[in-house]
Structure 1
Amino acid sequence: MRLGRTFVAAGLTAALALSAAGCDGGDGSAHAGDPTAPASSPSGGFPGSATPVGLDPAHVTDPPGRRTGAIAPADIVATGAETIPDATVEAIRRLRGVAGVEQISMAQIPVENRALSVAAVDPGTYRNWVVDPYAAQSDDVWDRVAGGELALRPSLRTRAPIGKDGFLALGSTEGASRVHVGAYAKQSWLVDAVVNRTWIDTLDMTPGNALLIRTGGTSPERLRAPIQRLLRGTEASVQMTDVVAREGLDPGAVQTAVVVGTVADAVGTFRYTVLSGGHIAPDPAWVDAHIATETVPILGDVTCNKLIFPQLRAALADVIAQGLADRIHPGEYAGCYYPRFIAGTTTLSNHAFGLALDINAIENQRGTAGEIDRSVVAIFKHWGFTWGGDWAYTDPMHFEMNHLVRPG
């Protein structure tokens, strides 16, 4: 059965669990309440207030109103680093075999070592493109998104670090923007979470850098080359969602990750291809521009992102100055630049960008409090690193750069 066929509209509103309290865990952590419990009413009601809560008025837009049009997911997804020009979008829309185009904004936002794929959308039109027709018909979900809240893919409810107040910080720094999780609903292919378009500037996203494309009765593969020709110059990746559905990502496509937030300067536009066994092959030009092997105190030679070295050296020099060098064990250093996905997923981590390092790995396993000296932790935090031991599902060996620090 083709993924692009139009779903028969169902009259039942989605029975979605809509957040009231959020969760306080990452992978395998405890959840506030039962995350598998149904919504408070069979039609997908709200466990708490029937209106969005705790929101900045700047992110509130009008509800989308009654849903109209066909419900069907994309057959092709195109993602680039720059805004796709209107003329190009229109040319793709006019291609023989193209049944519909939806322009959205896409970015990858590092959240506790997970590059979360966030889309900024028009909730009134985007809802027809999600992979679950029941979610498409739920006015509750899209009213929440229009009201400034975030709709999250259900599989992330126990993985994303949602606070007990129901807010998710989109970034790793203390000042990262926090968005209230208003709904759990399946999204379009390759999208983890959606917000409305008022968040584009707040999250430093690129407007309109992605397209969802339906091909109706035409084979998507027949349209790949014509779409790629029209997108030439934008360096956008073009991938088939029938492959995505089977394998997670299209191995025939160059993937494009547009990382935003305080580490954006260290990553830029990250392009890569998918290999077997969870590994990836970053664009060699990106590797040459961003990755280097240099000598640092205590650890010796390490391979990392070039921009991490000044503050990494400063942190390790500070460890030595405070008489704590013996608290870091070079023989237990577990790496920095590691071009692969998070185990068992197709999600990039900060290791793929060379922005995270694992130290004292043996006695600091995931899910434990860890034995690393807390004075060492404090030094790394001072020099612009986040510590995985502070996460809901702890990773105490892990330190990642959350913002650039330029030692004086």
Structure 2
Amino acid sequence: MGAWGGSLRRRRVSTRLGVSLLLAAVVLAACGGGDNVPSEAGGSGAPSGGSATPSATPSAPVADPERAVDPPGPLEGRLWAADIMIYGQTSLTPEQVAAIKALDGVDAVEVFSLSQVSIENQVLTVAAVNPTTYRHFNPVATAQEIDVWTRIAGGELALPPETAATVADDEDFVKLGNDKDAPRIHIGVYAAQVPRVDMVVNSAWGKELGMVEDNAMLVSTGMTSPQAMREPLRAIIGKGSSIQDLDAVARYGLDPDAQQTAILTGGSVAQAVGSFNYRVLDGGRIAPDQAWVQANIRTEEVPILGRVTCHKAMLPQLRAAMTEILTRGLADKINRNQYAGCYYPRFIANTQQLSLHSFGIAVDLNVAGNQRGTVGEMDRTVVEIFKKWGFAWGGDWAWTDPMHFEMNAVVKVG
């Protein structure tokens, strides 16, 4: 249950998002966002009417001046279909970008930053973008609604309402990462997103989060099949990056033929864990890159639990927590027979989202009495000991998971 079972929490998002957010949500829903406009100039033709309709003058205030970028202004020029997404653990070089632009079958590209943040054991993808240019590759209604891009430029977050329902706090903020000191960002607007993107922020927020700059690209291929472009793109970017057919993503949730990449961001824990490529297997399992597994995953003895398999960055803190629990006479509060594991390379059940168990930095304890959505029976002194040693507790979440503890800070041991 704690690692990947149960459903995401279903609580109503607060209505205090403001008139502009609600107005934009209604506009986007009414426009039926989700389909991109086909590309022109060697592609499949221009949008209806020949060009995108310019939006009205922006009215949204700058919510976060310290993390604001230049406002986008009215939409100018045409929209492009987001056919392929490229992303990897390192920045695309100017030479790679130029070579991709020059390929036959490539009509347009957009370079941006892409990473993942963990929020209550969901690993969600966040894009840090230039609002003026990235909007041209978005679903039509999203691209045309200027309030979306003005609010992103002003330092706020854009995401679909169904995602907000699982991650927003009572003040309509989202904590970008599970790290204890991860920053919080205000939700500015609901909007449909490009496939494989859960949330959008501006480039200033990308720097705040320490995201790898320009490690992702959207490619519009017009009449050319995205599958036909896979090998020419691979020849330019090499084997280390992911090439996603976004039509397959829209249909299946991910491109089953593509290598996937997990790039955590949001604080010192993400830096300690590192990033890895992986392949999707049957039954919701994944196969992380063996080089990352060999460098980071260890099987060691810890008090009470015995042999555990976890990330090497977490093991000293887990050992310290279990040692203190033992020395304080609380060993009977941990049922060794109900330890449900640490490193589990797979998706959360019935989703295509990774959990922190896939990175080996979470443990599930006393499973029987601590099911998802309950108060649970976890001893509160044990909880406080875990928090002391750099762990967050799932019992504190809005949709509780009291068996679950995850590393949320790097704590020096010894």
The amino acid that maps onto 1:237 is: S
State the identity %.
50
- Separation in structure 2 between the aligned mates of residue 376 and residue 100 of structure 1, nearest angstrom: 55
Q: Which residue of 2 aligns with 1:29?
A: 11
Q: SS state of the match for residue 325, structure 2?
A: helix
- Shift in Å, 1:52: 4.1
- Shift in Å, 1:70: 2.5
- Spell out, residue by residue over 1:201-258, the C-alpha distance to the aligned partner (whole angstroms, 9 max, x if none): 210001100010010001111111011111027x211121122122211122111121
Q: SS state of the match for residue 362, structure 1?
A: helix
Q: Which residue of 2 aligns with 1:51?
A: 60
The amino acid that maps onto 1:27 is: R
1:251 equivalent to 2:256? Answer yes
Q: Which residue of 2 aligns with 1:168?
A: 174
1:237 equivalent to 2:220? Answer no
Q: Which residue of 2 aligns with 1:353?
A: 359
Structure 1 residues 98 and 88, CA gap change in structure 2 (3 angstroms): same
1:70 equivalent to 2:78? Answer yes
Structure 1 residues 244 and 44, CA gap change in structure 2 (3 angstroms): closer
After superposing on structure 2, the runs of 4+ consecutive aligned residues of structure 1 that deviate more than 4 Å are 40-45
The amino acid that maps onto 2:305 is: L
The amino acid that maps onto 1:251 is: P
- Spell out, residue by residue over 1:122-151, the C-alpha distance to the aligned partner (whole angstroms, 9 max, x if none): 111111212x31111101111100111010
- Separation in structure 1 between the aligned mates of residue 272 and residue 347 of structure 2, nearest angstrom: 19
Q: SS state of the match for residue 155, structure 1?
A: helix
The amino acid that maps onto 2:60 is: T
Q: Which residue of 2 aligns with 1:150?
A: 157
1:224 equivalent to 2:249? Answer no
Equivalent positions of 1:11-160 (< 5 A) are 27-33=9-15, 39-40=22-23, 43=27, 51-52=60-61, 55-130=63-138, 132-160=139-167
- Spell out, residue by residue over 1:76-102, the C-alpha distance to the aligned partner (whole angstroms, 9 max, x if none): 111011110111101101101101100
Cα pair 2:14 2:171 within 8 Å, conserved: no
- Separation in structure 2 between the aligned mates of residue 383 and residue 230 of structure 1, nearest angstrom: 45
Cα pair 2:273 2:313 within 8 Å, conserved: no
- Separation in structure 1 between the aligned mates of residue 82 and residue 391 of structure 2, nearest angstrom: 38
- Shift in Å, 1:165: 1.6
Equivalent positions of 1:281-296 (< 5 A) are 281-296=287-302
Q: Which residue of 2 aligns with 1:196?
A: 202
Cα pair 1:135 1:185 within 8 Å, conserved: yes
Equivalent positions of 1:277-356 (< 5 A) are 277-356=283-362
Structure 1 residues 26 and 390, CA gap change in structure 2 (3 angstroms): farther
TM-score (norm 1): 0.87
Q: Which residue of 1 aligns with 2:218?
A: 212
Task: Specify which structure has the higher proportion of helix.
Answer: 2
Cα pair 2:81 2:222 within 8 Å, conserved: no
- Separation in structure 1 between the aligned mates of residue 161 and residue 81 of structure 2, nearest angstrom: 17
Cα pair 2:71 2:150 within 8 Å, conserved: yes
- Separation in structure 2 between the aligned mates of residue 79 and residue 40 of structure 1, nearest angstrom: 33
- Shift in Å, 1:56: 3.4
Cα pair 2:72 2:131 within 8 Å, conserved: yes
Cα pair 1:280 1:339 within 8 Å, conserved: yes
1:183 equivalent to 2:210? Answer no
Q: SS state of the match for residue 301, structure 1?
A: strand
- Shift in Å, 1:51: 3.2
Cα pair 2:173 2:187 within 8 Å, conserved: yes
Cα pair 2:148 2:189 within 8 Å, conserved: yes
- Shift in Å, 1:396: 0.4
Q: Which residue of 2 aligns with 1:387?
A: 393
TM-score (norm 2): 0.86
Q: SS state of the match for residue 366, structure 2?
A: coil
- Separation in structure 2 between the aligned mates of residue 298 and residue 34 of structure 1, nearest angstrom: 46
Q: SS state of the match for residue 285, structure 1?
A: helix
The amino acid that maps onto 1:61 is: V
Q: SS state of the match for residue 158, structure 1?
A: helix
Q: SS state of the match for residue 39, structure 1?
A: helix
The amino acid that maps onto 2:250 is: A
- Shift in Å, 1:389: 0.4
Q: For the aligned residues, what is the CA RMSD?
A: 2.1
- Shift in Å, 1:170: 0.7
Cα pair 1:26 1:391 within 8 Å, conserved: no
Cα pair 1:266 1:305 within 8 Å, conserved: no
The amino acid that maps onto 1:273 is: R
Cα pair 1:73 1:188 within 8 Å, conserved: no
